[in-house]
Every structure is written in C-alpha cells, then in structure tokens.
C-alpha cells in the first residue's frame, strides 16, 4: 500500500454516548458519530461520515446513517455479551461498513462505564446494592488486580462501592469534534481521535482515547484517558515503535498497563485485532487501553483513503 503524501494528514474522529436512564438497569438511548477526514494544507475533505442511534438492552431500534449499512443479526440482540462477535459481518466490507464496525465496537464498553456516575460520592447518588465480594473479574486487568485499590475499597464498603468523582474535567477539549454537545447528567461518552501522517518517510500515528461521564449536576468528568504515539514502516505497515501515556484513570494501578503497548512493536496493523482480543488479558493490560491500541487497526483503512 502506498503511503499518503507528506503534506496529508488523515484523521478519524468518533464518539459514542449513552444517556443516563431512570435507573441503571433501564434501557437507555445511545447515539454515535464517526468521521474520516483528509487534511491537506488548508483543504479539508470529508471521506466517510456516518451515525448510529438506538436503545441499549436488546436492540429493538438501531438507526444507521447512511441507511442500508446496519448489519443483519443485531436487531433484537443484546448490546453486551457477544455483541462484538456479531460485527464480524462488517469486517470484509467497504470503507463505510468497516467504519461502522469500528463505531459499533465501542458501544458495549460505553454502556458498561455507565455505572460510573452512579457509584460516585454525591448527595444525589443513592448507595447501590452490594456487589459480590470479591466481585467477578478479579485480575482481569490492572485496575481489577487482587489486593488493589478498587478491591480494597469494595471490601471496606461491604461491596457498596463508592468512589471520589474524578477531579479532571473535560472543559472545552473536545479532541477536535466539530459538533460537540453537552453531556446530560448520568450519561457517559467515549471519544477517540486517530491521526496518521508521514514524516521523513515514516508513518506517524497519534491515538487518543477518552471516556467521560456527567455527574448529577451535569459536570463532565474524565474517567479514562489513554494517549498512544506510534511509528510504522509505510511500505509493509509494520509497527516500529509504541509509546503509551495516560491522563486521568480511576485507580492507582491502572497506569501500570501502559507497558503492554510495547508488545505491538514488530506487528502489522492487520494483526492487531486478533492479537489484542486473544492475548492482551490479565493484570499487565487494561480493558480501555486495549481498545485504544485496537483503534490503530484502522490505520490501513485510513491509508486507503489517501489513494482515492
């Protein structure tokens, strides 16, 4: 695959938002947007633009723009377990179908983090029922490590986890989203920005991931923030370097997962999904960092746009 012109910058912006339902268990509305763009000098070219909307739980409604892209087998299916496997029908499609798969991929995790605004210490947040102690999933990632900060807190509260709200606010930083919206109270948002350029004959990748939620007063607070910088050979698309840094994260152990990014060096972008989804498990990894690293699997898709 030929590399883009040196003056071109390819960019993917995506966002998935899940509204806060009346109760944590109630189905809630969701919507999302994705844009692929090529920036060349002062010229901005929209390459792919699509949107999704529906309700969580069983997907009785799933609207996709442009019409006709929604994959078969999703309506009536759970938006949780097994959802990502159902997206395989889009894996060999055209540019719009591949982009839709990437956008829908973020839906289950955005729904999952919807619990965050309901477990913070706040007078308008009631104490939830106790969770099992220890909860299922111990040692599934760095933040869930046995004996770690979160597990200690669960034990200290008899399973009624309450956490201090993140002091890091989103403010006016929308990661370049041209249509930022106010996040309603108790809602959650996953936003990404992937950029690919060419500098001195080397592909340069910037990959930013941010999960946030709005507290009961509508203040949007950062929950997970991972930043990945990588370089790759433009001819064989082999990753040559990966650096991972973090912004706000909920638990003190979470940043220790950053070192897992180095395991991608020497691999091609088209290997990332199989590698990360099968081998990136346990306390040296992070569920949300895994999704951040996996975003780079779309680099060949963006490069293909440069040939249009």
Kindly tell me if the per-residue pLDDT of 4 is higher than 50.
no
Could you give the CA distance from residue 59 to residue 77 in angstroms, rounded to a whole number?
6
Query: Is 257:292 a contact under the CB 8 Å cutoff?
Result: no
Could you give the CA distance from residue 158 to residue 108 in angstroms, rounded to a whole number?
27
Is 86 within the bounds of a domain? yes
Average pLDDT of the chain is: 91
Is 2 within the bounds of a domain? no
| Residue-number span of the structural domain to which 128 is assigned | 8-305
Query: Is 230:241 a contact under the CB 8 Å cutoff?
Result: yes
Kindly tell me if the per-residue pLDDT of 261 is higher than 70.
yes
**Number of independent structural domains in the chain:** 1
Is 3 within the bounds of a domain? no
Rg, Å, the chain Cα set = 19
Q: How far is CA 152 from the centre of its chain?
A: 27
Is 285 within the bounds of a domain? yes
For 187, half-sphere exposure in the C-beta direction (CA atoms, 13 angstrom radius) is 18
Kindly tell me if the per-residue pLDDT of 264 is higher than 80.
yes
Query: Is 265:205 a contact under the CB 8 Å cutoff?
Result: no
Residue-wise pLDDT for 272-296, tens only, equals 999 999 999 999 999 999 999 999 9
Is 101 within the bounds of a domain? yes
Distance of CA 243 to CAs 142, 261, 281, Å?
Answer: 18, 7, 19
Could you give the CA distance from residue 222 to residue 220 in angstroms, rounded to a whole number?
7
Query: Is 223:248 a contact under the CB 8 Å cutoff?
Result: yes
Kindly tell me if the per-residue pLDDT of 203 is higher than 70.
yes
Indicate yes or no: pTM above 0.75. yes
Could you give the CA distance from residue 263 to residue 148 in angstroms, rounded to a whole number?
24
Kindly tell me if the per-residue pLDDT of 241 is higher than 70.
yes
Could you give the CA distance from residue 146 to residue 274 in angstroms, rounded to a whole number?
27
Stretch 131-139: mean pLDDT, rounded?
86
Kindly tell me if the per-residue pLDDT of 308 is higher than 60.
no
Whole-number pLDDT of residue 280: 97
Query: Is 302:37 a contact under the CB 8 Å cutoff?
Result: no
Is 1 within the bounds of a domain? no
Whole-number pLDDT of residue 5: 44
Kindly tell me if the per-residue pLDDT of 2 is higher than 60.
no
Is 195 within the bounds of a domain? yes
Is 236 within the bounds of a domain? yes
């Amino acid at each position: 695959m030929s590399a883009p012109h040196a003056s071109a910058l390819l960019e993917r912006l995506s966002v998935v938002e899940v509204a806060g339902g009346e109760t944590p268990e109630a189905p809630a509305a969701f919507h999302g947007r994705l844009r692929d763009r090529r920036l060349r000098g002062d010229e901005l070219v929209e390459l792919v633009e699509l949107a999704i909307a529906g309700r969580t739980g069983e997907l009785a409604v799933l609207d996709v723009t442009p019409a006709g892209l929604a994959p078969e087998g999703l309506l009536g299916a759970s938006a949780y377990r097994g959802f990502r496997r159902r997206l395989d029908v889009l894996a060999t499609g055209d540019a719009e179908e591949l982009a839709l798969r990437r956008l829908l991929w973020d839906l289950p995790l955005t729904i999952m983090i919807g619990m965050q605004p309901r477990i913070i210490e706040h007078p308008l947040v009631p104490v939830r029922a106790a969770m099992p102690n220890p909860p299922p999933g111990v040692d599934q990632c760095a933040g869930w490590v046995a004996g770690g900060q979160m597990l200690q807190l669960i034990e200290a509260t008899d399973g009624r986890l309450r956490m201090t709200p993140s002091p890091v606010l989103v403010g006016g930083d929308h990661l370049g989203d041209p249509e930022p919206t106010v996040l309603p109270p108790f809602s959650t948002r996953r936003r990404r920005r992937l950029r690919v350029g060419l500098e001195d004959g080397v592909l340069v990748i910037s990959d930013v991931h941010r999960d946030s939620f709005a507290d009961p007063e509508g203040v949007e607070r950062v929950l997970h923030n991972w930043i990945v910088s990588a370089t790759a050979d433009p001819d064989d698309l082999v990753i040559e370097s990966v650096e991972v840094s973090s912004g706000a994260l909920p638990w003190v152990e979470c940043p220790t997962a950053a070192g897992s990014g180095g395991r991608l060096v020497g691999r091609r972008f088209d290997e990332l999904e199989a590698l990360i989804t099968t081998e990136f498990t346990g306390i040296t990894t992070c569920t949300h960092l895994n999704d951040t690293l996996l975003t780079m699997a779309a680099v060949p898709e963006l490069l293909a746009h440069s040939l249009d």
